[in-house]
Amino acid sequence: MERAVVLLSGGLDSATALAWARARGWECHALTVDYGQRHRIELEAARRVARALGAASQRVVAADLRAIGGSALTDAIEVPRDRDPAAMGHGIPVTYVPARNTVFLGLALGLAETLGARDLVAGMNALDYSGYPDCRPEFVRAFETLARLATRAGVEGGAFEVHTPLMSLDKAGIVRLGASLGVDFGLTHSCYDPADDGAACGRCDACALRLKGFREAGLADPARYAVAPSVPDRG
């Protein structure tokens, strides 16, 4: 059985990516990064998802990006709320974490080389996302080049492939794919600014995109929200 390293945050996208990798018959080793995020609920969500989807292992690796700051997810910066969906694909919001996906994929690459795996799986998406530059296909292809040049396996002729099965899907498509693969979305967590009891705010970009995805997929979102959210039409 081929091995794969799957980046698993505990969110809807990464859970679907793990389910996709499992459906390919791979032995999946989940990697969750504790990057100093202000809200730790997603770490427990990742543990739940890894167990439910049959990951062969899950590692939680600390890489404290609070030392860098510069993001509403790691620093004392207010999380944007109630943004128009049409505006989310323009500009780079303050929830962008500098170099996050570069760090995450670097850690996944190291684990893959240790395990003898050549496949990395990540839930990046270039359609319904919040304008992050490290969620684009160009970034992924560039990282594959780096992996070939920067590792012993690559220098000795091996090749690493970064699989991003959600890259060309909108959020509704991701929801449909996850549902078809048996993902229990009630185990996942997407909110950038949850309440103390873990309830999603329903107002940040992540909540808005998630809610839009479920609405357009014709499915109920099992997440618990602090206040019943309204979901605007696609802008």
Mean per-residue pLDDT, 118-146: 90
DSSP 93: -
Mean of per-residue pLDDT scores for the chain: 93
Q: For 34-48, how does the pLDDT look when each residue is reduced to its tens digit (9 = 90+)?
A: 999 988 899 999 999
pLDDT confidence band for 130 (50 / 70 / 90): low
**CATH number of the domain residue 25 falls in:** 3.40.50.620
Q: Does residue 62 lie in a domain region?
A: yes
Which residue type sits at 156? E
In a domain, 115, yes or no: yes
What domain range is 12 assigned to? 3-184
Decide: helix, strand or coil at residue 179.
Answer: helix
The pLDDT value given to residue 234: 44
- Evaluated on CA atoms 89, 173, 3, 49, the torsion sign reads positive
Quick check: is 56 in a domain? yes
Question: Which segments of the chain does DSSP mark as H helices, in order?
Answer: 12-23, 41-52, 100-115, 137-150, 152-155, 171-180, 205-217
0.75 exceeded by pTM: yes
Within-domain flag for 196? no
Backbone angles phi, psi at 36, to 5 degrees: 85, 20
- The Cα diameter of the chain in Å comes to 55
The token duo for 212 is: 């839009």
Stretch among 88-92, 115-119, 133-137, 211-215 having the lowest mean pLDDT: 88-92
pLDDT band at 88; cut points 50, 70, 90: confident
What number of other Cβ atoms are within 10 A of residue 13's Cβ?
Answer: 30
- Percentage of the chain beyond pLDDT 70 is 94
Residue at 151 is within a domain: yes
210 within domain boundaries = no
- Residue 231 maps to a domain: no
Task: For residue 17, give Cα distances in angstroms to 120, 165, 226.
Answer: 11, 7, 27
Judge whether residue 230 has pLDDT over 70.
no
Q: Which amino acid is at 161?
A: E
**The pLDDT value given to residue 137:** 94
Please report which confidence band the pLDDT of residue 132 belongs to, taking 50, 70 and 90 as the band edges: confident
pLDDT of residue 227: 81
The number of folded domains in the chain is 1
pLDDT tens, residue by residue, 161-210? 999 999 999 999 999 999 999 999 999 999 999 998 999 999 999 999 99
pLDDT band at 229 (very low <50, low <70, confident <90, very high): low
- For residue 202, being part of any structural domain is answered with no
List residues bridging with 3 in a β-sheet. 27
Confidence at residue 129, expressed as pLDDT on a 0 to 100 scale: 64
